[in-house]
Amino acid sequence: MKLAIIPGDGIGKDVTAEALKVLAAVAQRFGRRFELEHLPWSADYYLESKVTIPAGGYDLLRGFDAIFIGALGDPRIPDNRHARDILLGTRFELDLYVNYRPVRLLDARLCPLKDRGPDDVNFVVFRENTEGLYVSIGGRFKAGTEDEIAIQEELNTYKGVHRIVRHAFEFAKARGLTKVCMADKSNAMTDGHALWQRVFKQVAAEYPGITPTHYYIDALAMYMVLDPGQFEVIVTNNLFGDIVTDLGATFQGGLGMAASGNLHPGKTSMFEPVHGSAPKFAGKNVANPIGAIGSVSLMLETLGLSDEAAAIDAAILKAVRERQVTSDVGGTLGTTQAGDYIAASVQRQ
């Protein structure tokens, strides 16, 4: 299998090294061969070359079986231009419309919610990943003056809403789940989110075994904290999904724990931890590599290698239970030692 690897910026590089260590352990244990191509696209690359992603870059990516990204973001590039082209550009150009973000608590000790354990926190968020407020439609007029006007439009299309809502129901059905919750802000955004309402009702009617529920996004945030156990599958738009998955990450022990996949079922997909480049931790051997390693598991699962993915998940769980983890989740290990431990237990199982 051919994989593109984009470590990116900051701790993205640190955690990618550990993710690849674990991938190598999987390759050895299961007798698989992964052909890796490292792509240097990052803040450093942009500052040196003035190129965010080279011509033909997205076509190059389409030629791989999957793509792994560490993180992108650098204070030297305040408008985040390179991340827009590399990260968001890949989501848009490869039409990776499903942002798959499982929220699964591995150990009650890691959860900041009072008296909650793994049984209470186990759901997935499907975030629409190709439209919404992320499409850069708009502009600024008289920028920098007191007359400045800034417009950023939210795009909602029938096709876009329909395919992510459909995906959420299909996922629930395939896993024997019985609840799908859609969150929008249709009480205030009475045009764009009326479309979400219509599509959700229409699709839900095709799945009699699944109970559809709806919350406004503000209420969803509250209920996630108050009663996370009621959720199995949540589906929402691009921006709301971004926000509630950072909240979900805290339930799992923090941003360092959360994994994600950017999928177009049947096509080249991209995998990355939910966290960003955390510049203050970069290169200091402190970043938690579990979100990145979990993203490798999601990648292998998506590529049909479910035993391999399960071996990684079991090794992560063991590391968490035995506190062989970084300090953000109560351990004393550095990034590389935490990665070593998980890689070694993948091989020993």
Q: Choose, from 218, 227, 267, 280, the residue flagged as catalytic.
A: 218
Residue showing tokens 């935490």: 338
Instruction: Verify whether residue 134 is a known catalytic residue.
Output: yes
Residues 196-255 that bind ligand IPM (CB under 6 A): 242
Residues 217-256 that bind ligand NAD (CB under 6 A): 254-256
Picking from 150, 153, 158, the residue whose alpha carbon sits closest to that of residue 135 is: 153
Nearest-approach distance from CB 98 to ligand NAD, in angstroms: 15
Cβ closest to ligand NAD, residue 192 vs residue 294: 294
In the shown chain, the binding pattern of residues 190 to 229 toward Mn ion, with x for contact by CB under 5 A and - for none, equals ----------------------------------------
Among 14, 242, 301, 308, binds Mn ion (CB under 5 A): 242
DSSP classification of residue 207: -
Among 39, 83, 111, 195, binds ligand IPM (CB under 6 A): 83
Cβ closest to Mn ion, residue 184 vs residue 242: 242
- Residue 6 amino acid letter: I
Among 5, 61, 87, 94, binds ligand NAD (CB under 6 A): 87
In angstroms, the CA 298 to CA 287 distance is 20
Q: Choose, from 134, 184, 215, 341, the residue flagged as catalytic.
A: 134
Site for ligand IPM contains 74 (CB under 6 A): no
Site for ligand IPM contains 133 (CB under 6 A): no
In angstroms, the CA 150 to CA 143 distance is 8
Give the residues across from 85 on adjacent strands: none
- Residue 243 amino acid letter: I
Nearest-approach distance from CB 273 to Mn ion, in angstroms: 10
Q: Provide the sign of the torsion angle of the four alpha carbons 182, 188, 193, 197, taken in this order.
A: positive
In angstroms, the CA 342 to CA 164 distance is 33
Cβ closest to ligand NAD, residue 172 vs residue 329: 329
In angstroms, the CA 102 to CA 252 distance is 10
DSSP per residue, 154-206: PB--HHHHHHHHHHHHHHHHHTT--EEEEEE-TTTSTTHHHHHHHHHHHHHTT
Cβ(296)–Cβ(5) under 8 Å?
Answer: no
User: Which residues are CB-contacts of 332 (< 8 A; sequence separation ≥ 6)?
Assistant: 323
In angstroms, the CA 251 to CA 341 distance is 23
Among 72, 98, 195, 346, binds ligand NAD (CB under 6 A): 72
Instruction: Verify whether residue 218 is a known catalytic residue.
Output: yes
Cβ(289)–Cβ(335) under 8 Å?
Answer: yes
Q: Choose, from 14, 85, 184, 242, the residue flagged as catalytic.
A: 242
In the shown chain, the binding pattern of residues 304 to 333 toward ligand NAD, with x for contact by CB under 6 A and - for none, equals ------------------------x-----
Chain positions contacting ligand NAD, by CB under 6 A: 11, 15, 71-73, 80, 83, 87, 254-256, 272, 275-278, 280, 287-288, 291, 328
Give the active site residues. 134, 185, 218, 242, 246
